[in-house]
Chains A and B, each alone.
Chain A
Amino acid sequence: MNDLAMHFKHLRRVFVWELPVRVYHWINALAIVVLCVTGFIIGNPPGIMFGGEAHESYWFGTVRFLHFASAYIFLFNFLFRLYWGFVGNKYANWKNFIPTNRRFFKEMWEVLKIDILQIKSGEHLSVGHNALAGFIYFLTFIAFAVQCITGFGLYAAMSHSLIARMFVWVSPFLGGDFALRRWHHAAMWFFILFAMVHVYLVFYHDYVEGRGEISSMGGGWKFIEEEVFEEQNSKTSA
């Protein structure tokens, strides 16, 4: 019994994701799902053989409305997250996403070796985002921006609202709505591929590390071993 008790690790609770970050995450996830589904329908609507008149139905208009409404939510949610990157805790800070020093690149390489290629055994320990994940999120932020700019660029022709008007320059700048629609549609696939990998990796980390990776986006907690806690503290103070 004694040797087993020795083996047990004492876990220490760390508050990683603040409430605004968690709310942002789930609004973002929901908006992306709605935007992808409605976007697909707008791009290739199902064929309906219907005997009635046009005034009896408005379903396509409703789908488009959902797409535009979700887009507004997505845009402001995104802007909020950018803001939170400057005022949030250290795990939400923008420095987690943009490589600014050599250590960042070194860690990215470590994560690649241990978690992705698995050519190095053991586990990579990070409390917030690991460097590779952070950098991938930085790329998704660029994709968010591309999607907002091309989407609202297309929407600008249909709206007189102030926000939509701010995007009238996009269509002439990128060579017309043909090009805009093409890039808007293609960028959607980045979101779909990202979501697949993202969900998989969350399960992977939870499974291999057992530190509450999945539930962290619910309550905000992650758990690290006491010795890791000490080790990290000694590393930063050194």
Chain B
Amino acid sequence: MAQITTIGRKTYYDDIIEKGYSRRDFMKFCAMMAAYLGLESSGVAQVAQALQTQHRVPVIWLHFQECTCCSESFIRSSHPIVADILLDKLSLDYTETLMAASGHQAEVAKAKTMKDYYGEYILCVEGTVPTDNNGVYCCIGGRTAEDILKEAAAGAKALIAWGSCACNGCVQAAYPNPTSATPIHKIITDKPIIRVPGCPPIGEVMAGVLVHIITFGTLPELDGAKRPKAFYSKRVHDTCQRRAFYDAGLFVETFDDENAKKGYCLYKVGCKGPMTYNACSVTRWNNGVSYPIQSGHGCIGCSEDNYWDAGPLYRRMQTFPGFGIESNADEIGIGAAVLTAGGLAAHAIATNIRKNKLIEDLITEGKESEKELKK
């Protein structure tokens, strides 16, 4: 297998070997990634080939209004090579949370990457960008998030919006959204954007997206909401281990009832799995140990737009905008039905008074006919 190594720009494989991993470890990593990406078995070779021949793709990773849980999730993805290689020394030219450099040095490193790899680097963004009051709510190095993002996006090959903050605003954009927190795709509209929602997204999913870009040199196939199809085309519900209870109509009513002990479906205690597109029930979390539904807690739908404002987490209802907190469609509907029934009753009474003549005429006419028929 041809191995091209350019001085100064190493391949991923070089870094991996240098780091002390064996080729066997490397191949295991390739096999795992190919599986996550949903490739056929020959895809393993494709991944291995790419990592041995491709120069590392420079990555700039920006943090705005967020909690860093996306980064935390990423460095905990199940294979150590993800953390060690994709992140630690090889790709991330700039990430506030994890890089060694700080202050002026860090900014210089970023500027250098942006200049040297103009049009080549991948810009990863974690967090929302506040736009209210000229963006003063999030400033780094004396500049606003919006300014930094626009500058970095100008030379990026593509953007990756990590996590729900960058994808849909998450909690910062929840009502009343005091800082006008704005997701990335509403600010940068002229670059390809991959949205990887979740709070946080699964580490393996994040690694998978990056490995795909490295392996194929293209963006992964995206769905209508710009999410990678490999990870977001199925609902959590579709591969849920409690799905059989759902179809059987066996539901947990409260978290401490007999049904909860039996592991029934959590639909009625607010599980949002049936509306949530994510890989949790396939990939699971913490090296595939578990995921919320397996652990007895419903899905809160963290990878869906607007999930904070969509209603209570532990009840199967959705609030309705403009009708006060916790009013749902059924309450409003029943109110409207009662009003309608009242209106109809009033109308029926009014009809018998106002249209008395018409009705009387019909009755008289009908009765006369009846009498005549008897004769």
Contacts and interface: CB of A to CB of B under 8 A. Distances in A.
Contacts of A122: 358
Nearest to B339: A193
B275 A178 contact: yes
A49 B368 contact: no
A8 B318 CA distance: 58
Contact of B329 (A59, A179, A186): A186
Contacts of B277: 157, 176-177
A4 B365 CA distance: 8
Interface of B: 223-225, 234-235, 238, 244-251, 253, 258-259, 267-268, 272, 274-277, 301, 304-307, 310, 316, 318, 320, 329-330, 332-333, 336-337, 340-341, 344, 347-348, 350-351, 354-355, 357-359, 361-362, 364-366, 368-369
A186 B337 CA distance: 13
A54 interface: yes
A69 interface: no
A171 B303 CA distance: 14
Interface stretch (A19-27, A40-48, A226-234): A40-48
B304 A123 contact: no
A196 B318 contact: no
B248 A169 contact: no
B362 A197 contact: no
Given A121-B354, A177-B304, A50 B250 contact: yes
Interface in A31-88: 43-45, 47-50, 54-61, 63
B344 A196 contact: yes
Given A179-B306, A182-B329, A186-B329, A118 B350 contact: yes
A7 interface: yes
Contact of A8 (B276, B320, B351, B365): B365
Nearest to A46: B249
Which size class do A's interface residues fall under? 35 or more
Contact of B249 (A59, A118, A178, A186): A59
Contacts of B249: 45, 48, 57-61, 63
Given A8-B365, A58-B247, A61-B248, A200 B344 contact: yes
Interface in A165-187: 168-169, 171-173, 175-182, 185-186
Contacts of B238: 157-158
Given A118-B351, A168-B224, A182-B329, A45 B251 contact: yes
Contacts of A157: 234-235, 238, 277
Q: Which 3 A-B pairs have the closest CB atoms?
A: A60-B249, A172-B224, A189-B333
A192 B337 CA distance: 8
30 contacts: A8-B368, A44-B316, A47-B251, A54-B247, A57-B249, A60-B246, A61-B249, A63-B249, A118-B355, A121-B354, A121-B355, A123-B358, A157-B234, A157-B235, A175-B306, A176-B277, A177-B274, A177-B275, A177-B304, A178-B318, A186-B332, A189-B329, A192-B337, A193-B333, A196-B337, A196-B344, A200-B347, A208-B359, A209-B358, A210-B362
B355 A55 contact: no
Nearest to A61: B247
B351 A208 contact: yes
**Chief secondary structure at chain A's binding surface:** helix
B341 A177 contact: no
Contact of A181 (B268, B318, B355): B318
A105 interface: no
Given A157-B235, A171-B225, A209-B358, A178 B248 contact: no
Mostly, the B contact residues are helix
B306 A178 contact: yes
Contacts of A209: 358
B359 A204 contact: no
Determine which residue in A177, A179, A196, A200 has the highest number of CB atoms from chain B within 10 A of its CB, and name it: A177
B351 A169 contact: no
Contacts of B354: 118, 121
A235 interface: no
Q: Specify which of A116, A157, A176, A204 lies most central, judged by the most chain B CB atoms within 10 Å of its CB.
A: A176
B305 A7 contact: no
A9 interface: yes
A59 to B, nearest CB: 5
B11 to A, nearest CB: 37
Contacts of B366: 210
B358 A178 contact: no
Contacts of A207: 351, 359
B344 A59 contact: no
Given A172-B223, A178-B318, A57 B275 contact: no
Nearest to A65: B247
A4 B364 CA distance: 10
Contacts of B246: 60
Given A43-B316, A175-B306, A196-B337, A56 B358 contact: no
Given A56-B248, A61-B249, 19 more contacts: A4-B368, A8-B368, A43-B316, A45-B267, A55-B244, A57-B248, A63-B249, A121-B355, A121-B357, A172-B223, A175-B305, A176-B225, A177-B275, A178-B301, A179-B310, A180-B275, A186-B332, A189-B333, A200-B344
A185 B304 CA distance: 18
B261 to A, nearest CB: 12
Nearest to A209: B358
Interface in A206-233: 207-210
A50 B258 CA distance: 10
